[in-house]
Chains A and B, each alone.
Chain A
Amino acid sequence: MSLAACLLAYSLAVAVLGPPLLDRLTRSGVAPRLGVAVWTMAMGSVVASWVGAAGLLGVELYRAWGQVDLLLAGCFATLRAWVDGGHGGFLQAGLEVLIALTVLAMALLAGRLVAALRRAGRDTRRHAEAAVLATRGAPRGPGGTLVVDAAQRSVYCLAGRSPAIVITRGALDALDDTQLAAVLAHERAHLTGHHHQLLAFTSALAKILPGLRLFTEGTTQIGRLVEMRADDVAAHRHGGHTVVDALLALTIGTTVPASALGAATEPGIADRVERLLFPLDRARSRRTQSAVLGALLLVPAITAIIVLTGSPLCLTPFSA
């Protein structure tokens, strides 16, 4: 019981303190892969501690009754205790109802997470299919891309059973050969880095728990960092200036009013261009990198401390 409480306290601490801290650490986009790892670790450890707590509480509950209809039994016990006026029994039963509710809430969240992930998968497949239909069975474009006959300049990729890069005729016309190669390298980096799967998971979490900044802010930041990571891969092969030129070729003259709702506006273009053109100096980037690495190691360290040394604090038996 107390271990479960400790896990929940830990998740609360990470959920509250994590976002501002991690935001500061990963803002500059130094070592984007580390940044992604540290956000993912924070989010994942919170989810894991919930699962752990729910599991522990579930076991506790099972031991308490060793039967089904737990909620109902809890309610009856509470009522009876109240009628009898026995304080200890009342507290015990009330606690067990609380536990049952927590376990139920966790199960509900897990169900909603699975449903959100399946919806995302279905819509992605559906979109890929519509993209194939839009190409009218025409041969693939450069690098096996799906070329959609549309004037707007757009390039994106879809993961799934049949990963695809979609490029519009407008984008093809706007890019020269090296810029196109850099754009394709960027998109392939998303696919090989499994960025879609990660983002699908974090955005599903953000969607079902919109009140938790760790998930909403984390999803935004991971989205930003994977773009930077993909930029780095493309810049490594084709040069930072080529990537910047490609970014400019696809964006200049396409601005939308800030109020345009629903548009997939990109908050990070200036940041991406800045770090490609003016990389941070070595010393500063190494400092930031160590800080991120430290944060990355902090999470397992805290978990270990909870489990190993927390015995007097966390491992006191429930009914004591």
Chain B
Amino acid sequence: MAEPIPPKERYRREPREMKEQDPKERIHNFNEVPLGFSTEDAIYEAQRCLECKTAPCVKGCPAEVKIPEFIDLIVKEDFAGAYQKILETNSLPAVCGRVCPQETQCQGNCVFNRTGKPINIGKLERFVADYARNNDIRPQAIVAPKKNKKIAIVGSGPAGLTCASDLVKAGYDVTIFEALHRAGGVLVYGIPEFRLPKNIIDHEIEGIKAMGVNIVTDFVVGETKSLDEIADEFDGVFVANGAGSPKFMGIPGENLNDVYSANEFLTRSNLMKAYLFPEYDTPIKIGKKVAVIGGGNVTMDSARTALRLGAEEVHVVYRRTKAESPARVEEVEHAEEEGVIFDWLTLPVRVLGDEKGNVTGMECIRMELGEPDASGRRRPVPIEGSNFVMECDQVIDAIGTQANPLVKADGMEKNERGYILVDEVSKATTRKGIFAGGDIARGSATVILAIGDAKKAAQAISATI
């Protein structure tokens, strides 16, 4: 067992960084970029934690992971115990440890921010989950007595999976309905293999199934059965179908052959494994010079996927600057290291093509930053006469997604943008017995916020149904 170290030493010790695949190598493969902590790394990092009584870090985690407790168990080298401790509140630790924006969540609240050296909570969480998976440690779910109540869940993304596992532990019969042939939501169709290997999600889903959750794939709510029908058949429903409808710029030329939505590009590559074509049957276009429009995480994922598929040159075209980009800093840095070229302050106005529909270029206009807008960010304004043509043979629209209108029910109200209206605390919709959370209730957000919503909904369902 490792020894705790004196408090002074905890302040002095430098955080342990995680090793990463060399950028020159990794652009030729889809293997994970950060390589994980060794046991020694994890203990070294864990020893820095002050085990704060007030645990400000936990307040930054929507899943309320018992951070000081699990880190303490790492120091004690009880990794299986640390795993069970995390699972008490979070069913997807291997996922969260990798994709949570920790800098604004748990780590953003760590007392060590004063010294600029917050504990690498996410990386420790990832270490514990990976340890459990590699050593075949299964969740010890404490399942309450059966309630003989049936709950339906629409969608198997992080929100649906979390609500399902919380409810099954509380004694409900839970069925998830998933439109695609595979469960996981954005985790399997959107986020690429090199950030989140798919076998990890499968493992976490297997754990959730082992607790008794029934997952019905190939079932589109709104088509296979309506939400009204499902609400009639079940005692309660949690709607978590995400916000997976693609948005396009609305500029001329966008329906040319080689213009993709990020959703199409990433779904072909991730869910359908087009990156392994022709071993897998689904094809994907591999451009020579690819322009990806947008500035968020989805943009970085698309650009980095295009590189790995074999594009010679990949540009990210964003109308604001790096400072306003909504992507995680780490993601932009990774993309830069890999050679993605950033065209900040650039707005596409038209995609150009030939008569067969092939993309030949994209007309853009340069921007400058003007007055701050409603979001507080300085508004980009076009510089007149600065139009130019960027040569490219593939364009990927990665400017965001919106609500998909397929899932509707009598009396369940939505806002003007199609998102479901819910009570802040209980996640109840305006229709009795139907709850909603994740992206479909808050607009495109994050995995951990979706998980937080799902936990609140599960609590409210347990209290009322």
Q: A and B: real partners?
A: no
Give chain A's interface residues, CB within 8 Å of chain B. Answer: none
Give chain B's interface residues, CB within 8 Å of chain A. Answer: none
